[in-house]
């Protein structure tokens, strides 16, 4: 173990006072992993404009290189989530080799069923059987791509829904979705799982076909044990208690993954932890109720608009590391005692105490222990990586 406790005696004392094992905490931090998204490294924007960034990757190979730089700096991002057809190539064996050469692996594969004009009125819920068949073919294609790349999950988000009352039969759309996904599930290799994501609204404004965690859970229960719910932090109404959803799905054994971002009003795709870091901490208190608890698949899902892409991703990863570290510092025994005694203020104060602890030294030491940078953003600036990719990626 590293000597962080000797260098930071105040932090060590606070950990010891809570009866926690500092070495177990450091091991948990060293094992912490999050997938970064290939789409988070390219140009993106809003429905008003897209602002091209200097040095932006020109293809999936350069997106992988940016993801590898984030992992080099943070030591916590060894997997990259891919999106198809955005990341489509002719030779997937070559892509797989490039990913391995960069020290990464493929995380989840994300099919795209929301951009093609055919899907204007839905993909697998569309009333047109021809369009449903086309959508299902793409889902099958992504299963094959995932097999070639060694990916373990299909991450499914559908823009399907209706904008007006009476536009389509709500129950018929649900039946079509179930029929398509049952067919996909039957063909799913044993090493892959389905992650079913939901979203309250957008682009469907009247009735989104998968609008909440309950509708996603019911669907997964009908599909089978390898279908689980994926929570996206930005896909809820204002004020929804996300950590409660985490708790319910975890207890049901159906929490398959989490897409991290942050928002102020809707699905803003802001840097995770930038607006509401306390919410992020509370989510991790439910994801990791004990040191060493296995975590579900964690993925950053952000499409940065005005930020520098690699720097934004580095900051997102370090924010997640710090939220996780703070959650590990909660004195669970004292918290249980306060809850049993009905001590409202005492229980809240225990959470607040962990949240306000400065865990940056602890996270820095954990990163150094796995060969990453103590201060990833500072190292990114010092390395000149941003300047190099601007020079290399002209044209």
Q: What is the value of pTM for the model shown?
A: 0.95
In a domain, 129, yes or no: yes
How sure is the predictor about 173, in pLDDT bands with cuts at 50, 70 and 90?
very high
Give me the DSSP letters along 33-97: --EEEGGGGS--B-SS-B---TT--SSHHHHHHHHHHHHHHHS---EEEEEETTT--S-HHHHHH
Q: Which domain holds residue 317?
A: 34-330
| Most confident stretch, 20-34, 138-152, 291-305 | 138-152
- Would you say how long the chain is, in residues? 395
Place of tokens 């897409």: 259
In a domain, 225, yes or no: yes
In a domain, 385, yes or no: no
If you average pLDDT over every residue of the chain, what do you get?
94
How many CB atoms are closer than 10 A to CB 280? 25
In a domain, 175, yes or no: yes
In a domain, 9, yes or no: no
Query: Which pLDDT belongs to residue 215?
Result: 98
Judged by average pLDDT, the poorest of 18-22, 175-179, 333-337, 362-366 is: 18-22
In a domain, 40, yes or no: yes
Could you tell me the CATH number of the domain that includes residue 229? Answer: 3.20.20.150
In a domain, 381, yes or no: no
Three-state DSSP class for residue 232: strand
d(CA 133, CA 123): 9
For the chain, how many structural domains are there in total? 1
In a domain, 326, yes or no: yes
Look at residue 46 and tell me whether its pLDDT is greater than 80: no
């Amino acid at each position: 173990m590293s000597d962080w406790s000797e260098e930071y005696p105040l932090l060590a004392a606070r950990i010891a006072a809570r009866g926690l094992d500092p070495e177990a905490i450091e091991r948990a931090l060293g094992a912490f992993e999050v997938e970064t998204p290939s789409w988070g490294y390219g140009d993106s924007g809003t429905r008003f404009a897209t602002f091209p960034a200097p040095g932006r990757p020109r293809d999936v190979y350069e997106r992988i290189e940016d993801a590898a730089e984030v992992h080099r700096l943070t030591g916590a991002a060894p997997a990259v989530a891919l999106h198809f057809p955005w990341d489509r190539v002719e030779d997937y064996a070559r892509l797989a080799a490039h990913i391995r050469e960069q020290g990464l692996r493929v995380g989840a594969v994300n099919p795209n069923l929301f951009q093609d004009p055919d899907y204007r009125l839905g993909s697998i819920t569309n009333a047109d059987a021809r369009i449903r068949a086309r959508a299902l073919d793409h889902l099958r294609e992504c299963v094959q791509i995932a097999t070639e790349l060694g990916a373990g999950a299909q991450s499914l988000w559908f823009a399907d829904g209706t904008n007006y009352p009476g536009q389509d039969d709500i129950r018929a759309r649900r039946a079509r979705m179930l029929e398509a996904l049952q067919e996909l599930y039957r063909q799913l290799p044993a090493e892959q799982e389905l992650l079913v994501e939901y979203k309250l609204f957008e682009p469907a404004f009247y009735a989104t076909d998968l609008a909440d965690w309950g509708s996603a859970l019911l669907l997964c229960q009908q599909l089978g044990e390898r279908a689980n719910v994926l929570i996206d932090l930005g896909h809820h109404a204002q004020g929804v208690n996300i950590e409660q959803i985490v708790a319910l799905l975890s207890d049901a054994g159906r929490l398959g993954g989490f897409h991290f971002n942050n928002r102020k009003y809707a699905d803003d795709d802001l840097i995770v932890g930038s607006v509401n870091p306390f919410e992020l901490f509370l989510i991790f208190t439910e994801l990791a109720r004990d040191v060493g608890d296995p975590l579900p698949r964690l993925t950053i899902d952000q499409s940065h608009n005005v930020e520098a892409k690699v720097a934004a991703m580095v900051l997102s990863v370090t924010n997640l590391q710090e939220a996780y570290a703070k959650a590990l510092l909660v004195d669970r025994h004292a918290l249980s005692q306060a809850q049993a005694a009905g001590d409202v203020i005492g229980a809240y104060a225990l959470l607040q105490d962990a949240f306000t602890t400065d865990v940056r030294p602890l996270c820095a030491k954990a990163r150094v222990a796995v060969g990453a940078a103590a201060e990833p953003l500072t190292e990114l600036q010092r390395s000149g990586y941003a300047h190099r990719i601007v020079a290399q990626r002209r044209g």
